Structures are given as C-alpha cells and as structure tokens.
C-alpha cells in the first residue's frame, strides 16, 4: 500500500513538471504570436488552438499534484466543528466517491480516445491536428489523477485506523 502512495506522489510530481513545461511552451507560442502580429501583421494560425490544448493538458496533468498538495477545495470550516472520528469518516467517504467518479470518467475518456483513433478524427481547423493527441494527454493526466485519488483514499483510510490527521 505504501509503495502505491509513494508511486502516486512521484507520478504527480512528474506530471506537475510536465505541466510547467507545457505552460512555458504556451507562453512562448503566445509571445511569438504577439511578436509576429505586431511586426508583420501575420499570424501563426495555431496559437489559440494549441493554447487551448495546452490548457486542457495543464488542468489534467496537474490535478494529481494539486490533490497531493491539498490544493483542491475542502470544507475545513465545517469539518472542524465535527468530532474527529466523524470528520475522518466523512473525508474517507468523500474521497472514495471522488475516486469512483474519476475511475468512471477515465473509462469514458479512454473510450473517447479509442473512437477518435478509430475514426481518425482531426480538428476542424487549418492544422487538421489529430484529436487523439490532446485527448491522450488528457487521458494520461486523468489516469495519474485517479492513481493519486486511490492513494489519497488509502491514506484517508489509514488515518481512520490510526487516528492520525485527515489527509
């Protein structure tokens, strides 16, 4: 169990670094677009499309790290008024439900990527980007987030058993 928790934490760190690289590349792309427009009144024709793909990638790839660092919204004010045992149990139930939902979402993202590959779908823009590429990045990010949720569920369960602080 602890190996899964360690693996998920390491995986989330890697995905966060990848998100940072994608953010940097998006910034460069937008700056190039601005420069080309201001200097030559021309456009790259890809800046808005690829920035949107990058935004989706950042959201999905960074979700696990955000969870690991407790950056997602939590209702700590209400939980602070509850007895510790009840607070731990509610946290476990909420984490378990979220994990199940994410597993369900991952499955449907997988089916979406599979059908996009089968039908060879491309973007409706001049680039004709194969849609499976940005969708696959979302799928990987969702998978890493799911693994981090499983690890968080395990940590929350262990907190109930050992009476430690809720993660």
Q: What is the pLDDT of residue 78?
A: 81
Q: What is the mean pLDDT of the chain?
A: 93
Dihedral sign, Cα of residue 37, residue 39, residue 41, residue 45: negative
Provide, rounded to the nearest whole percent, the portion of the chain with pLDDT above 70.
98
pLDDT surpasses 90 at 120: yes
pLDDT surpasses 70 at 165: no
pLDDT surpasses 90 at 163: no
Q: What is the pLDDT of residue 147?
A: 97
Residue with tokens 């080309």: 36
- Confidence label for 159 from pLDDT (cuts 50, 70 and 90): confident
Q: What is the pLDDT of residue 84?
A: 87
Q: What is the pLDDT of residues 11-43, one digit of tens each?
A: 999 999 999 999 999 999 999 999 999 999 999
pLDDT surpasses 70 at 97: yes
**What single string gives the DSSP state of each residue in 2-63?**
HHHHHHHHHHHHHHHHHHHHHHHHHHHHHHHHHHHHHHHS---S-HHHHHHHHHHHHHHHHH
The answer to whether 43 and 33 are in contact (CB under 8 A) is yes
| Longest distance between any two alpha carbons in the chain, whole Å | 65
For residue 122, what are its two tokens? 């491309």
Mean pLDDT score, 105-116: 98
The answer to whether 5 and 151 are in contact (CB under 8 A) is yes
d(CA 139, CA 69): 21
d(CA 64, CA 42): 39
The answer to whether 94 and 86 are in contact (CB under 8 A) is no
Q: What is the pLDDT of residue 74?
A: 75
- pTM of structure: 0.90
Q: What is the pLDDT of residue 36?
A: 97
């Amino acid at each position: 169990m602890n190996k899964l928790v360690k693996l998920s934490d390491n995986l989330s760190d890697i995905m966060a670094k990848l998100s940072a690289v994608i953010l940097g590349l998006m910034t460069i792309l937008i700056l190039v677009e601005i420069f080309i427009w201001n200097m030559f009144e021309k456009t790259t024709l890809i800046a808005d499309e690829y920035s949107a793909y990058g935004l989706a990638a950042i959201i999905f790839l960074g979700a696990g790290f955000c969870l690991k660092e407790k950056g997602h919204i939590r209702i700590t004010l209400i939980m602070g008024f509850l007895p510790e045992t009840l607070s731990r149990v509610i946290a476990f139930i909420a984490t378990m439900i979220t994990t199940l939902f994410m597993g369900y979402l991952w499955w449907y993202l997988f089916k979406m990527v599979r059908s996009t590959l089968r039908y060879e779908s491309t973007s409706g823009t001049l680039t004709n980007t194969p849609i499976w590429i940005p969708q696959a990045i979302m799928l990987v990010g969702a998978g890493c987030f799911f693994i981090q949720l499983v690890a968080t569920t395990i940590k929350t369960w262990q907190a109930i058993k050992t009476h430690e602080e809720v993660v």
